[in-house]
Amino acid sequence: MTRVPGLLAPLLGLGLGLGLGLILSSLGAGAADCRSFGRAERLAFAPAARVRWLAPRGRPPGPLNPLYGTVRRFLSVVQFNPFPAELVKTLLNEPSSVKVDEVVRYEAGYVVCAVIAGLYLLLVPIAGLCFCCCRCRRRCGGRVKTEHKAMACERGTLMAFLLLTTLVLLIGVVCAFVTNQHMHEQMAPGVEAVPETLLSLRGLVSDVPQELQAVAQQFSLPQKRVLEELDGVGKSIGSTIYTQLKSTVYEVLTSVNSLGQALQLSMDHLQALNATLVELREGQRDLEPAVREHREHLLTLLQEPGCQDCTEAQSRARALELGADFDQVSPVDNVLHRLKGVPEANFSSMVQEENSTFNALPLLAALQTANMVKELKEVIAQKPEGLRTLAEEFPGWEAASRWSQALEEVEQSSRPYLKEVQRYEKYRWILGCVLCSAVLLVVVCNLLGLNLGIWGLAAREDPGHSEAKGEAGARFLMMGVGFSFLLAAPLILLVFATFLVGGNVQTLVCRSWESRELYKFADTPGNLPPSMNLSQLLGLKKNISILLAYQQCKEGAALWSVLQLNDSYDLEKHLNISQYTAKLQQELQNLKIDMKNLDLLSPAAHRDLEALQSSGLENIHYSTFLDQIQKPVVNTNVEKLAQELEGLARTQGSSVLGQQLQEEAQGLKNLYQEKVLPQQSLVANLNLTVRALASSAPNLQTETSRVLDNVTYLKGQLPTWATSILRNESECFLTREMGYFSQYVAWVREEVTQHIATCQPLSRALDNGRVVLCDMIADPWNAFWFCLAWCTFFLIPSIIFAVKTSKYFRPIWKRLSSTSSEETQLFHIPRVTSLKL
């Protein structure tokens, strides 16, 4: 606590400088941004447009996405030709003139795949028939005739390849199951999206007059908000003035309060310094003769001829005299005299009173604005004429009924077809599950055959083992081979059929749809037949670009901008609210605030600070105090000297001399406890007080002058600042209230031109259609046939490795025998020989 005044001085100067700088900067910046008052709150207008927004559909990221990407890349290799614009144009306008060779040239990749599928369909069943014939003659899939050294390596290699092929088949069939199920689950939402989209399009331009009327009625929302804020405009402006000035006023009052505390603390230290100095001087006068008497008597004893080992003690005894002399320091009576009666004022109570006066500003402002509020409410209560005719003068929609009827017919007629699509999808899903289960059966046979075969091989070394396990494993492998041959034809047929459909949908439709080549194709004159001309279907007088319309609709544009209705309807004429601005501005400029009652510093407090300023507290020679404080009270350590005398008393040959030395030691101890120790305690207290005053006094005088100057300046400038802030905040309040009407105008403009009759459902319907067709149906569809094709072609290595591996699981006809070493014989019984003892 003793260091507070020393730290207070720079902090007060920094705080006051920052406070005055902030208020001046706020006066200059307030008119520019009105942040101190605040902007108009965001009004929550109820959407007048009916909810016609289609939710965007999308495929969430999942573990199948890498598979979908692989299939798309494969299809890009198969169909590397660009979009066949000329071929599609001919097909739409003159279907009979389409040339087969052009179609074949475009579908060259699919033709190559068809040839591969045909070869597979032809060769694999033939190979299966040949294998059956061989099996009937016991020529294929038999057993190993002779055991040889490399048999284990061959058998292990074949088993490893068969296991690897089986695992590949297992992964493929699992992916096929997953994609088949995923496509089945996505089909129902995709079908349900069709009537939902058509219903949303039907409501695209319906209820437009009712929506415009709802827009005009919501003028009551900003009107009501302005009337509510007018009730508290006086208090609000007064609070804003209070808020902008309080940081500076409170900071000045805080500095005054802190300076008063520092003044009180300095007075306490100064009085404590004076009292301690008086006590030290009195103690010094009592201590000096006692120390001198002990020194003379002790030197007499130590200089006697019979005193043994007393030389060192004599030198200590000669130094037994006073160290610090506090008669040399200058008194502080003059400073205390100048500060007599200080502090006169109660700084804490004074600051609380000034705070209460300053806090009454909002109430004062509220009383002065009552009449102005009443007049402004009468102006705001009226409704602009333009908003009353907003809906009546809006241009009609001639084609609205025709569009609605056509969409209704399409929606009704599509439902039976959608039901059929779901029914056939169910059949496709069942067929896919059956074929996937059949491929899974081949995988199970291979795994069972491998497990039983390995079990049989492990038990073959046992003399009593049975070959049944190995034989069963071989039979399971041959069962898998048989199933593979049986499944080859239906699998390749299903794979190619689904590949041909799904691949063309992806490469011809989805790829060009995603790159927007379809829109560019439709925009090119002559590509579409007259019956498919969009401008004629919509009854428009001029052609529109489908791609441009799609992009505008995708950005959320309404038919207002797409069809350029601004040429036939002046919207801004209906949104003129200038009648509100002039009256508000005129009345708000007449507001005034009186701040003469705020004194900041009472006369008594002012006298206290002036007395401190002229007291000379900083001129006290604190260095002379510190010089004496650094010196010891007695130059010799009295306690240590007493202990040394006690030791000498015990070593003396003369009992009389020893007794005298012992008495002198006890006298020194009593002197230390009664006079030296209290004097040291007073010196320690004086040290704290002097250091506290020495650190705080110079800066305290400077800060006293600064606080007096700041208080005088602030008291003179507060009325000017308050008037300036009041004028600025009145403009900010006007801007805030106009902000509510501006929000309404902007909302009406946005609602009419962007939301009412928005064509977002049209672009979203196209995007959702692409997502449903390409992402939700085509991708799982293509992934399904890709996985089935994967399994179909891996059946060939599975057949080969299964046939070759099964031979090693059956019993061997003739085992390898060797008499060269016991280690090469499969069943060796050691011969018993005689032992030589």
Residue with tokens 């075969």: 453
Query: Are 652 and 658 a contacting pair, CB within 8 Å?
Result: yes
The whole-angstrom separation of Cα 188 and Cα 156 is 49
The whole-angstrom separation of Cα 312 and Cα 318 is 10
- Provide the residue type at 323 as one letter: G
pLDDT score of 333:
67
Q: How buried is 57 (Cβ within 10 angstroms: 0-12 exposed, 13-18 middle, 19+ buried)? A: middle
Residue ranges in 555-676 assigned as alpha helix (H):
559-562, 579-588, 603-613, 622-630, 638-651, 655-671
The whole-angstrom separation of Cα 457 and Cα 320 is 111
* Averaged pLDDT, 436-448: 88
Buried b or exposed e, range 786-809, using 16+ CB within 10 angstroms = bbbbbbbbbbbbbbebbbbbbbbb
The whole-angstrom separation of Cα 470 and Cα 485 is 23
What one-character-per-residue DSSP string does 498-540 give? HHHHHHHIIIIIIHHHHTTHHHHHHHSTTSS-GGG-HHHHHT-
Task: pLDDT band for 167, please (50, 70, 90 cuts).
Answer: very high
In the three-class reduction of DSSP (H, G, I as helix; E, B as strand; rest coil), residue 634 is classed as strand
Instruction: Indicate if the pLDDT at residue 29 is higher than 60.
Output: no
pLDDT in tens, 573-598: 777 777 666 776 777 676 677 676 67
Q: What percent of the chain has pLDDT over 70?
A: 80
pLDDT score of 653:
63
The whole-angstrom separation of Cα 606 and Cα 707 is 10
- Provide the residue type at 30 as one letter: G
Task: pLDDT band for 164, please (50, 70, 90 cuts).
Answer: very high
The whole-angstrom separation of Cα 188 and Cα 194 is 11
Residue with tokens 């105008």: 745
In the three-class reduction of DSSP (H, G, I as helix; E, B as strand; rest coil), residue 715 is classed as helix
Question: Interior CA angle at 181 toward 180 and 187, to 5°?
Answer: 90
Instruction: Indicate if the pLDDT at residue 541 is higher than 70.
Output: no
Task: pLDDT band for 677, please (50, 70, 90 cuts).
Answer: confident
Question: Who contacts 56 (Cβ-Cβ below 8 Å, separation ≥6)?
Answer: 764, 767, 768
Across the chain, what does the average pLDDT equal?
76
pLDDT score of 138:
63
pTM of the model: 0.51
Higher pLDDT, 661 or 73: 73
The whole-angstrom separation of Cα 607 and Cα 342 is 9
pLDDT in tens, 780-809: 888 888 998 888 888 888 888 888 887 777
Instruction: Indicate if the pLDDT at residue 754 is higher than 80.
Output: no
Q: Is the dihedral of CA 85, 86, 90, 91 positive or negative?
A: negative
pLDDT in tens, 400-435: 566 667 777 777 777 887 888 888 888 888 988 988
Instruction: Indicate if the pLDDT at residue 17 is higher than 70.
Output: no
What is the DSSP-derived secondary structure letter of residue 46?
A: P
* Averaged pLDDT, 545-566: 78
The whole-angstrom separation of Cα 23 and Cα 248 is 7
Number of Cβ within 10 Å of residue 171's Cβ equals 15
DSSP H/E element including 316: helix 311-318
Residue ranges in 751-816 assigned as alpha helix (H):
760-770, 779-809
pLDDT score of 401:
61
Q: How buried is 714 (Cβ within 10 angstroms: 0-12 exposed, 13-18 middle, 19+ buried)? A: buried
Query: Are 756 and 560 a contacting pair, CB within 8 Å?
Result: yes
Residue 322, phi then psi, degrees to nearest 5:
-70, 145
pLDDT score of 115:
92
pLDDT in tens, 179-215: 888 888 888 777 777 777 777 777 666 667 678 788 8
